[in-house]
Amino acid sequence: MIIHVVNPGDSVYKIAEMYGTSPEQIIFDNKLMNPDRLVVGQTLVINNVAKNPNLENSLYINPVNKRTIIVNGYTYPNTDPAILSSAFPYLTYISIFSYQVLPDGNLTPIDDQPVIEQAIQSGVAPKMVVTNIEQGGDFSSELAREIFTSDQAQDRMIQNILNTMSKKDYVGVDIDFEYLYPEDRERYNDLLEKIRNAIHPYGYILSAAIAPKTSAQQPGLLYEAHDYSAHGYYDDEVIIMTYEWGYTYGPPMAVAPINEVEKVIQYAVTEIPSRKILMGIPNYGYIWELPYVQGSAATVISNPEAVNLAARVNAAIQYDYTAQSPFFNYYDERGIEHIVWFEDARSIYAKLQLVEKYNLGGVSYWTVNNPFPQNWLVLRTMFDIMRFV
């Protein structure tokens, strides 16, 4: 497989001739909506290469010994079934976001049955997600504290998790407790142990999503209560949220710059068995207005939409080789400049190389709610995907 970067003057037909494949194959594999309008700097994944061309502006991917990895994808209950169908052949788990815990340990219901049924029919294992998100709000430190300090609430929450997994054919639970008070670190560890001991006798899997840390004592409300060593001991799988360096209310930058992601993984493997680690990969980008004003909000954009936007505004896509991420600038009809950071086949390849380099258990996508066909092509070329069915 080859990742081709579009040059000035390239067309699908010219590229097909270059690699000895068909235009129809390139259009189909990359799900090109407007194949007559390629963008300079855009990536195209080329399968079934029949020639050995000059690879000066291309990446050639030919893994010798593919290994099998775990691939998790987060989704919401209302995601388009057609989009899920396009992702399911490449997933081990689909983690449905989310059951919100209440202060008494009860869980808010969600309409997850359609996704569960579609997943099971597709050979994908469904996993329930439990969060400390307040109803109508965000992650709550206080809500988590109420659970941590009440044995009754913990017991009720765990029983509700067991009942839900049994009733709805979930294979496990993913605990996504964020923005915890630093002083609740050991309380959270104790809760993980309690959950593990309760669900393991029934054969259920425990995973947890944790913040991207580079040291044990990294300061900040997002980081301090996430104890990598404890998660490595109690969890069957640990999902590290290696994204959101570029985020909604932050300054423009790559969402998951490879240099920063690798620092997290380098630390993580010193605390967590590497095969338990699922490295987070973002399936989205952001648009920021320039000049950036602190506190202003970026707009989320899917990766295919970012390429389509570049085509509409006649922008050339550039590539930051330090962050290993694509970006472009453009001016809107009001004359306001914008910058867009997103993911493409090159940035995905760079991230997946870390999985091999550090012998990780696999990857986890936030989210699979939007299509990203190039990602699945690169993933399948580099790895086989663990399946339960």
125-167 pLDDT, tens digit each: 999 999 999 988 999 999 999 999 999 999 999 999 999 999 9
Q: What is the CATH number for 326?
A: 3.10.50.10
For 264-310, how does the pLDDT look when each residue is reduced to its tens digit (9 = 90+)?
999 999 999 999 999 999 999 999 999 999 999 999 999 999 999 99
**Average pLDDT estimate for 242-254:** 97
> What number is the average pLDDT over the span 374-378?
97
| Residue 12 CB contacts under 8 Å (≥ 6 apart), including other chains | 23, 26, 27, 32, 35, 36, 38
Shared domain check, 359 and 333: no
Exposure string over 18-34, b if 16+ CB within 10 A, otherwise e = bbebebeebbebbebee
The β-bridge relationship of strands 285-290 and 299-301 is: antiparallel
* Residues tagged active-site: 178
Phi and psi, residue 141, nearest 5°: -65, -40
Q: How far apart are CA 186 and CA 273, in angstroms?
A: 20
| pLDDT greater than 90 at residue 85 | yes
**Can you tell me whether residue 282 is helix, strand or coil?**
strand
User: Which of 63-77, 80-94, 152-166, 344-358 is the least confident region?
Assistant: 63-77
Residues 247 and 315 placed together within one structural domain of the fold: no
Distance between CA 17 and CA 14 in Å, rounded? Answer: 5
* Residue 223 · residue 264 · CB < 8 Å: no
- What pLDDT sits at residue 183? 97
The answer to whether residues 35 and 145 belong to one domain is: no
The neighbour count for residue 89, using CB atoms within 10 Å, is 13
Same domain? 356 vs 316:
no
189-244 pLDDT, tens per residue?
999 999 999 999 999 999 999 999 999 999 999 999 999 999 999 999 999 999 99
Residues 35 and 105 in one domain: no
State the total domains in the chain: 3
pLDDT of residue 54: 64
Question: What integer pLDDT is reported at residue 53 of this predicted model?
Answer: 66
Nearest residue to 302 via CA among 281, 280, 279, 282 = 282
Mean of per-residue pLDDT scores for the chain: 96
Task: Report the C-alpha gap between 186 and 52 in whole angstroms.
Answer: 57
Q: Which residues pair with 59 in a beta bridge?
A: 3
Q: In this structure, what CATH number is given to the domain that contains residue 74?
A: 3.20.20.80
Both 271 and 124 in one domain: the answer is: yes
Task: List the structure tokens of 44.
Answer: 């195209």
> DSSP secondary structure string, 39-91?
-TT-EEEE-S--S----TTEEE---SS--EEEEEEEE-TTS-HHHHHHHGGG-
Tokens read off for 320 = 């930051």
CATH number of the domain at 51, please: 3.10.350.10
Residue 58 has pLDDT above 90, yes or no: no
Q: Cα 13 from chain centroid?
A: 33
How far apart CA 144 and CA 162 sit, in angstroms, is: 19
Provide the sign of the torsion angle of the four alpha carbons 380, 386, 388, 389, taken in this order.
positive
Listed residue (221, 373, 379, 235) closest to 304, CA to CA: 373
- Could you list the residue range(s) of the whole structural domain that residue 9 is in? 2-60
Q: Is 136 exposed, middle or buried (0-12, 13-18, 19+ CB in 10 A)?
A: exposed
